Structure 1
Amino acid sequence: MTGWRPTSALVRACLLALGGICGGVALGQEVLVVLAAPFVVLAAMGLASRPRGPVRVGARLDHHRLHEGQGTTSRVDVDDLTGVEHCTRVAAATAHVAASPPQGAAGSLVADGLPVLWFSPRRWGRRAIGAERVALTSAWAGWRWGPVDLPENGLTVLPQTAPYDSRAEVPQPDGLVGRHRSRRLGSGTEFEGIRLFAAGDRLRRITWPVSLRTGELHVVTTRAEQDAGVWLVVDGLRDIGTSGGIDGPASTLDLTVRAAAALAEHHVRTGDRVGMLVVAADGARVPLGAGPRHLQRLLGTLARVRPEARSVPPERLDLGAGAGSVVHVLSPMLFTPLVTATAGLQRGGTSVVVIDTLGEAFAGREADRLSLPALAARMQRIERDDRLRRLAALGTPVVPWRGPGTLDTVLQQLARRARVPKVRA
């Protein structure tokens, strides 16, 4: 534990005062005593203003959970300010975190308040903020406490929920509380249509006006009282491209995470039940749920995705989406087992939508077409395009992520296709 130590200014003042007085007395030169008089005053005031008690210093953040682009304040706490005149703080630079002042250094007189630092995370994930050094100075700059290193504080940065809205209904909902009703027929109250009577239909569903007019029995069909079950499959295996935070270019993982956050917020806001599967080495699975607390759980799971993980999951992936759910696969589609698992869901009759989050990740690599990175990028793009063509041949729509309205047309087409009889392999 550190204590109060004399500053170099106090030591210099004491030496000059002692040397001037001794030299003036020994040499009989009054001018030396006059020249040393100011240093005598400074040394006397500095020695008299020494703080006596021990000091404990700590730093804290006003918030420990933020969205990209939001800001928080780091404050320093000192238990005893007796005799302290000035406080100085210097914070270490953190990747994807903007600080104010820009250099992360701040100082102020204690009478004007302890200095504060402002931090604004520019990218989602776990950030370590507050690793800094703090020093205290007494009056007349005679004594200094520190500098001491303060531990860093963890900050969870949630992905920015880009503006997203969709007026299309989810094709195959499953539940009871959401705004999007099921397209499947069942014992509900919402009118769906009129068709011919078939074996197993309830007699109370017969519509007699139509039956008498046509001469054949017809029944009224209704939608089931169910809401949407939406699964978000997030590809967190690779991060291609350079991330500039919310102010710069976006990498593939940036697009994937932010698109998943926007979709989760949209469906939870409309009352649908949302689940999530993160495909990564340390992947996570969040079961279906609804409500604001469930949305915070989804966003927290996205914030914990680690793009630096090098190992990959097994070759056979189990996306595990329940029957009657719609699955949004957010991926640049560069990992073959994920493509295979997506095709398996499509063959099983699940409504699957692939949201392409490649963006402009390969744009910088193709600047020099004869370079090795450019050739590798073109080979990856050719293989990826072939995978997407095969998925499209199976009936899986592939849509590039463009923000609001990205999925309107696709979901409307899936909703119409869901009512067509089909054979499931």
Structure 2
Amino acid sequence: MPASAPGPIPSEPAPASVPGPGDIVVEGATGSEAVERALGGRQSEPGRPTEAPPEPPDGWRAGERALRYGTVAALALGAALVTGRPWLLALAAGPLVLLALALPRTPRAGHLTATVEVAARRCFEGEQVVARIAVVHDGGEGRLDPGITLGPGVRLDALTVGTAHLELRFTAERWGRWTLGTVDVDLYDAGGVARRTVRVDLGEVAVFPLPAAAGLTPIPVRLPTRLGEHASPQRGEGIEVIGVHPYVRGERQRRINWPATTRRGSLQLHQFAAERAADTVVMLDVLGDIRDPVTGLSSLDETFRAAAGLVRAYLRTHDRVGVVAVGGTTRWLQPGSGDAYFYRIVESVLEVRKDLVQRDPELSRLPPPALPEGALVYVFTPLTDQRILVVLDQVRSRANPLVVVEIPSGDPPAPRGDTTAELALRLWRADRDAMRFALIERGIALIAHQPGQTLDLALAPLLRTRIRGGSR
């Protein structure tokens, strides 16, 4: 697992199979000839959903060897009839003899089934997913030949073909809920002149985004009355000293502040801050996916990676964290705590990207349970759609402390010398500046996160003071 992953995903990995002496092992990148032949040009292009191939025909049919022999024999017979030269019939005899010798001596399989087992249905970006297909038939031994239709979010790295099984190794390239694809397994008879096809659906995998590096957890002014690890202005049984107070009979004498006692002439004790937990809600702007024309980075990818890092940081301090995805169908999960809650949060929004299908990005009002009273709200947005301002107004109307984390999306390309394109670029930048100015004027904290950098660099200015909420 990559070093930045939050921890092992709770699942039972399947035991790795070792190729036998009769197995054909094909491995390497997707550019290898055998892997390309298995894919057959059926790997979806980036940004497009996978098109399902037509259903394979039922029953036995002629294989490639029978078609080649039959084609040569038919051409020789046709040439003999057209030209009237009997010696051309001898050219047809050879393929027919080879076809007769290739006929199987054992009965063909009448029953053909295939079962699939996929190890690690949940993984992080860059990890491998292994699919094993077992083929069972009641005929003589034959050769297996797979045809693979690959899903959009994974890459086929290696293929192992045995006498009765196949093993495929994929690499999860992008976060989301992806369909691995389908495999059409061709079973040839012993002579290789006939084949039968069975289709295997590999199912779906959930690919989690790699969390960005983050460790800082800014807190709002008001904290709920629940035990945690954040120092509160209220007096309590914590470890952070916030002042001194006169000794009251019954208090612990080990807390005496001797310097203050000496100055004031009476017993003074340390006063500690109460430790409270925070409620945090991470809001994701999924109104659109903007790709930087220079770096090729996706704003949606960076949004989820940065948000995952922030969620992990707050969960480590035993705070409650919730999530809201704005755009299309509003998806939300009430705040909760615990290490396992990280996976619940991520899985709740994986449907945002499923096989790269674009959904109608309509806005709907935020449900009241999604934003608890006083919860600190982080909004991750590229600030490219002005409709996000409507959502921010809803949050501010509930007096929740609010922080907007801007995800850079890059400027649209403008050819040098093109006056119209340069003017459009200036208007684009002016519109972004106007949105930033509107947020600052409303008293909303605005920070910028740079991809590849730790999120703590953007969160550091928020530690100077506690984040205040709006007004109802």
Q: TM-score range by the shorter chain?
A: 0.7 to 0.9
What's the offset of the Cα at 1:299? Answer: 1.0
Quick one: distance in 2 between partners of 1:357 and 1:423? 23
Calculate the TM-score normalised by the size of structure 2.
0.69
The answer to whether residue 59 in structure 2 is matched with residue 3 in structure 1 is: yes
| CA 238–36 in structure 1, closer or farther in 2 if over 3 Å, else same | closer
Q: Would you say how many aligned residue pairs link Structure 1 and Structure 2?
A: 396
Q: Write out per-residue CA displacement over residues 105-152 of structure 1, whole angstroms, 9 at most, x where no aligned residue.
A: x68451xx6333222221112212222322111222132112x44435
Max Rg structure:
1
Quick one: distance in 2 between partners of 1:151 and 1:378? 50
Q: Which residue of 1 aligns with 2:232?
A: 183
Q: Which residue of 2 aligns with 1:351?
A: 401
RMSD (Å) for aligned C-alpha atoms: 4.3
The answer to whether residue 457 in structure 2 is matched with residue 400 in structure 1 is: no
8 Å contact 1:125–1:157 — kept in the other structure? yes
8 Å contact 2:143–2:187 — kept in the other structure? yes
8 Å contact 2:324–2:332 — kept in the other structure? yes
> What is the 5 A alignment of 1:164-313?
164-167=213-216, 169-172=218-221, 173-174=223-224, 176=226, 178=228, 180-194=229-243, 210=260, 213-214=263-264, 221-241=271-291, 249-306=296-353, 308-313=358-363
8 Å contact 1:49–1:140 — kept in the other structure? no
The answer to whether residue 414 in structure 2 is matched with residue 366 in structure 1 is: yes
| CA 240–169 in structure 1, closer or farther in 2 if over 3 Å, else same | closer
Helix, strand or coil at the partner of 1:184: strand
Q: Write out per-residue CA displacement over residues 9-66 of structure 1, whole angstroms, 9 at most, x where no aligned residue.
A: 34748997xx99xxxxxxxx9xx99x96896476245231342432123444323222
What's the offset of the Cα at 1:348? Answer: 6.6
Q: List structure 1 segments (4+ residues) > 6 angstroms apart after TM superposition.
A: 13-16, 201-209, 215-219, 315-319
Query: Which amino acid letter does the alignment assign opposite residue 127 of structure 2?
Result: Q
Could you tell me which runs of 5 or more consecutive residues in structure 2 were left unpaired when the two chains were aligned.
Answer: 1-56, 78-85
Q: Which residue of 2 aligns with 1:124?
A: 175
Q: Write out per-residue CA displacement over residues 156-214 of structure 1, whole angstroms, 9 at most, x where no aligned residue.
A: 2222223x132455345546464x314331433334322689xxx99969989748844
| CA 15–53 in structure 1, closer or farther in 2 if over 3 Å, else same | farther
Query: Which amino acid letter does the alignment assign opposite residue 168 of structure 2?
Result: L
Could you tell me which runs of 5 or more consecutive residues in structure 1 were left unpaired when the two chains were aligned.
Answer: 21-28
8 Å contact 1:196–1:216 — kept in the other structure? no
Q: Which residue of 2 aligns with 1:74?
A: 131
8 Å contact 1:319–1:341 — kept in the other structure? no
Quick one: distance in 2 between partners of 1:109 and 1:75? 11
8 Å contact 1:14–1:40 — kept in the other structure? no
8 Å contact 1:175–1:228 — kept in the other structure? no
8 Å contact 1:351–1:414 — kept in the other structure? no
> What is the 5 A alignment of 1:308-319?
308-314=358-364
Quick one: distance in 2 between partners of 1:400 and 1:150? 46
8 Å contact 2:291–2:409 — kept in the other structure? no
Helix, strand or coil at the partner of 2:431: helix
8 Å contact 2:334–2:370 — kept in the other structure? no
8 Å contact 1:171–1:183 — kept in the other structure? no
Q: 1:383 aligns with which of 425, 431, 449?
A: 431
What's the offset of the Cα at 1:289? Answer: 0.7
What's the offset of the Cα at 1:406? Answer: 2.9
8 Å contact 2:217–2:314 — kept in the other structure? no
| CA 304–9 in structure 1, closer or farther in 2 if over 3 Å, else same | closer
Q: Which residue of 2 aligns with 1:321?
A: 371
| CA 345–406 in structure 1, closer or farther in 2 if over 3 Å, else same | farther
8 Å contact 2:123–2:206 — kept in the other structure? yes
8 Å contact 2:60–2:194 — kept in the other structure? yes
8 Å contact 2:149–2:181 — kept in the other structure? yes
Q: 1:143 aligns with which of 186, 191, 194?
A: 194
Which moved further from structure 2: 186-195 or 265-274?
A: 186-195
What's the offset of the Cα at 1:331? Answer: 0.8
8 Å contact 1:235–1:279 — kept in the other structure? yes
Helix, strand or coil at the partner of 1:285: strand
8 Å contact 1:51–1:84 — kept in the other structure? no
| CA 368–153 in structure 1, closer or farther in 2 if over 3 Å, else same | farther
Q: Which residue of 2 aligns with 1:89?
A: 146
Quick one: distance in 2 between partners of 1:303 and 1:337? 22
Q: Which residue of 1 aligns with 2:23?
A: none
Quick one: distance in 2 between partners of 1:377 and 1:3? 61
| Bigger proportion of residues as helix | 1
| CA 191–114 in structure 1, closer or farther in 2 if over 3 Å, else same | closer
| CA 374–216 in structure 1, closer or farther in 2 if over 3 Å, else same | farther
Quick one: distance in 2 between partners of 1:353 and 1:290? 21
Query: Which amino acid letter does the alignment assign opposite residue 184 of structure 1?
Result: P
Helix, strand or coil at the partner of 1:259: helix
| CA 50–187 in structure 1, closer or farther in 2 if over 3 Å, else same | same
Calculate the TM-score normalised by the size of structure 1.
0.76
8 Å contact 1:399–1:406 — kept in the other structure? no
| CA 40–400 in structure 1, closer or farther in 2 if over 3 Å, else same | same
| CA 374–393 in structure 1, closer or farther in 2 if over 3 Å, else same | same
Which moved further from structure 2: 386-395 or 86-95?
A: 386-395
Q: 1:54 aligns with which of 88, 111, 120?
A: 111
- Matched residues, percent identical? 21
> What is the 5 A alignment of 1:144-163?
144-146=195-197, 148-151=198-201, 153-162=203-212
The answer to whether residue 389 in structure 2 is matched with residue 332 in structure 1 is: no
Quick one: distance in 1 between partners of 2:334 and 2:281? 9
Quick one: distance in 2 between partners of 1:231 and 1:316? 12
8 Å contact 2:145–2:185 — kept in the other structure? yes
Quick one: distance in 2 between partners of 1:51 and 1:169? 70
